[in-house]
Amino acid sequence: MINKDKRKYFTAGELAAIFNISKQSLLYYDKVNLLSPDFISENGYRNYSIQQFLDLEIIVNLRALDISIANIKKYLEDRSKEHFLQLLQEKTAECQAIIHNNQEICDTIERIKEDMHVKELN
């Protein structure tokens, strides 16, 4: 292995603590080829560069928006403004569909309550 200055790297534990995620999340991101460590030291520690730190920041923030791993992976491969805006637009459309569906549920509940109230008066 090439001798690397470990002071320029973050261990999996350090990254997990900084981003308040589990080390298992980092292992999963490596497994699905989303974020792999720059190198694994002789003692088995997984070491991440500053660029990977920045990538993880993107990943964590997009996951907080419930954007899929697959879509995050695509974005990391093409970090254009247009691609980012497309991700946000797709998420906005998804949220609007959920709001619409929930509004229909609320409307149905209100109709049932009104029907029950009318039946009580008769």
Read off the DSSP letter of residue 6: G
What are the tens digits of pLDDT across the range 93-109? 999 999 999 999 999 99
> What region, left, alpha or beta, does residue 21 occupy, with left being phi > 0 and alpha being psi -120 to 50 degrees?
beta
Q: pTM of this prediction?
A: 0.79
Residue 6 — very low, low, confident or very high, per pLDDT cuts 50/70/90? low
Q: How many CB atoms sit inside 10 A of residue 51's CB?
A: 9
Dihedral through CA 102, CA 103, CA 104, CA 107, nearest 10? 130
